[in-house]
Amino acid sequence: MISKKISPNELTDLIHNKSDISIVDIRELYEIENDGKLDSSIHIPMGELVNKLGDIPPAEKIIFHCKSGNRSENILNFLMMNNLYQENYFTLEGGFSAIKKK
């Protein structure tokens, strides 16, 4: 099953409209140090995500992102296969690189 995606434009609108969202950055710390991060995101590295799902603030939409979108899509597919997926989980299409271009 392919995860649901939110475009960079949709995410920008959700942030601007102060929508009920949580943004989870699953990149490694060195990537954040090199490339920056979204102010409104929380950082949970991909390798720790399964054990820290409970640390994600509840929201209408929970949006996961990595650098390009591949890892976040893979982790959501993993969550689906292991019955940890929730209907309010989304990935950011194109990842942080796409939002950074805006």
Q: Find the domain containing 56 and state its range.
A: 5-101
Q: How far apart are CA 82 and CA 62, in angstroms?
A: 18
Residues 6+ away with beta carbon under 8 Å from 32: 25, 43
Residue 95 sits in a domain whose CATH number is: 3.40.250.10
Express each pLDDT in 74-87 by its tens digit. 999 999 999 999 99
Q: Structurally, how many domains does the chain consist of? A: 1
pTM of the model: 0.94
Express each pLDDT in 31-80 by its tens digit. 999 999 999 999 999 999 999 999 999 999 999 999 999 999 999 999 99
